[in-house]
């Protein structure tokens, strides 16, 4: 899986940041289980048509969902571009003045956490553990840069690993002339 990345370019007195999120992490456990269900459905199809059809359709749907579904929120899985000058940030048609910005933060789009918490070891059923492991894997590329102003947070860019997110935070803070909080 390749990592996220961003590029910056100067446009007049502003810097334009273009962020490409990391690609989605496929839920291979569900894909494999769906494929096995399709094979089981094929074996039943000759003798029990309805049961075979249900197995094929259900397994195919599960495999498709596991292959295509991205758990990250939309703003964390689509490329984004925003503009930063010494006085403001412009993103998605909104302008955030430097004086109005409370802070710039890195936030995880899945866990809604600003700072990672240690994983707890709790005995769980295997299928549930596989789902939790997939969610943990996806959350590694679900970090985003957000700006907080007027008591609300706005995602500027998402779908990044921590390294990319911290690099973007540093560069945006430098352009704004703000210290990293």
pLDDT digits over 19-51, tens only? 888 888 888 888 888 999 999 888 887 788 888
pLDDT digits over 51-80, tens only? 888 888 999 999 998 888 887 888 888 888
Write down the pLDDT at residue 130.
62
As beta bridge partners, residue 8 has: 17
Q: Is the dihedral of CA 59, 122, 139, 150 positive or negative?
A: positive
Contact 58, 37 (CB under 8 A): yes
> Which of 168, 116, 178 has its CA nearest to residue 144?
168
Q: Which two tokens mark 140?
A: 């590694």
């Amino acid at each position: 899986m390749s990592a996220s990345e961003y590029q910056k370019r100067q446009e007049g007195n502003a810097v334009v940041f273009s962020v490409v999120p990391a690609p989605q992490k496929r839920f291979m456990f569900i894909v494999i289980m769906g494929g096995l269900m399709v094979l089981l459905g094929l074996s039943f199809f000759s003798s029990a048509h309805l049961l075979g059809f249900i197995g094929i359709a259900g397994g195919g749907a599960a495999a498709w969902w596991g292959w295509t579904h991205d758990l990250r929120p939309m703003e964390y899985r689509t490329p984004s571009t925003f503009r930063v000058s010494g006085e403001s940030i412009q993103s998605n048609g909104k302008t955030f003045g430097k004086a109005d910005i409370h802070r710039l933060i890195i936030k995880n789009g899945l866990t809604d956490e600003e700072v990672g918490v240690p994983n707890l070891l709790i005995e769980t059923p295997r299928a549930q553990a596989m789902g939790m492991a997939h969610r943990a894997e996806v959350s590694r590329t679900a970090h985003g840069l957000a700006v907080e102003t007027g008591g609300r947070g706005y995602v500027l860019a998402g779908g990044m690993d921590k390294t990319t997110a911290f690099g973007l935070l540093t560069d945006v803070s430098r352009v704004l002339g703000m210290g990293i909080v």
